[in-house]
């Protein structure tokens, strides 16, 4: 991957928290718990997922950089949502998401070419590199911001759901 592409993805990764905050701007309590469709997560659940995912992803990246051929273990995001009380207040999860993302962005901006080339094995996807990690997580918050917007629209116009 060319450095300019990496830089664009790092910038997108760094914007993730702001994109989420924009999607949440002015959110009502009914919107916070709305679902765009049966079986989809509410904005509240998305926020907790983002915090949990960010913590997991931060460790994955650190392992890829620091360890030789690490085994990266997947996790069951739906089980997390079920077992980790995703109905709780969101402010602490937003703070975690922001802090972990900022800390990780600082690392991304300092990686050497050799570090960008590092890889391991993911338990669910096989070969897994630092670049794979970046491609996944640079888009992750943006995708969930869109999900939040769609869920909020259900409350704004229930006839469109």
Q: Which residue shows structure tokens 């450095």?
A: 3
Closest by alpha carbon to 75, among 104, 96, 53? Answer: 53
Query: Nearest-CA neighbor of 32 among 159, 158, 151, 145?
Result: 151
Write down the pTM of the prediction.
0.94
Helix axes 130-156, 3-24, angle to 10 degrees: 30
Q: How far apart are CA 97 and CA 92, in angstroms?
A: 9
Domain boundaries, the chain: 3-160
pLDDT digits (tens, 9 = 90+) for 4-26: 999 999 999 999 999 999 999 99
Q: What is the pLDDT of residues 80-116, one digit of tens each?
A: 999 999 999 999 999 999 999 999 999 999 999 999 9
What are the start-end ranges of the H helices in the chain?
3-24, 29-32, 43-66, 77-83, 91-108, 113-116, 130-156
Q: Does domain 3-160 have CATH number 3.40.50.970?
A: no
């Amino acid at each position: 991957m060319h450095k300019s592409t990496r830089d664009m993805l790092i910038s997108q990764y760094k914007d993730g928290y702001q994109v989420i905050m924009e999607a949440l701007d002015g959110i009502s309590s009914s919107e916070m718990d709305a679902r765009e469709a049966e079986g989809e997560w509410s904005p509240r659940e998305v926020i907790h997922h983002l915090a949990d995912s960010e913590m997991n992803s931060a460790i994955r990246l650190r392992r890829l950089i620091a360890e030789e051929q690490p085994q990266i273990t997947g996790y069951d995001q739906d089980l997390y949502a079920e077992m980790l009380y995703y109905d709780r207040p969101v402010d602490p999860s937003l703070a975690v998401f922001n802090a972990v993302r900022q800390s990780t962005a600082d690392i991304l901006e300092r990686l050497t070419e050799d570090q960008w080339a590092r890889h391991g094995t993911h338990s669910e996807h096989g070969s897994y590199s630092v670049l794979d990690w970046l491609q996944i997580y640079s888009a992750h918050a943006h995708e969930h911001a869109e999900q939040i917007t769609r869920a909020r629209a259900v409350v704004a116009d229930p006839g469109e759901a």
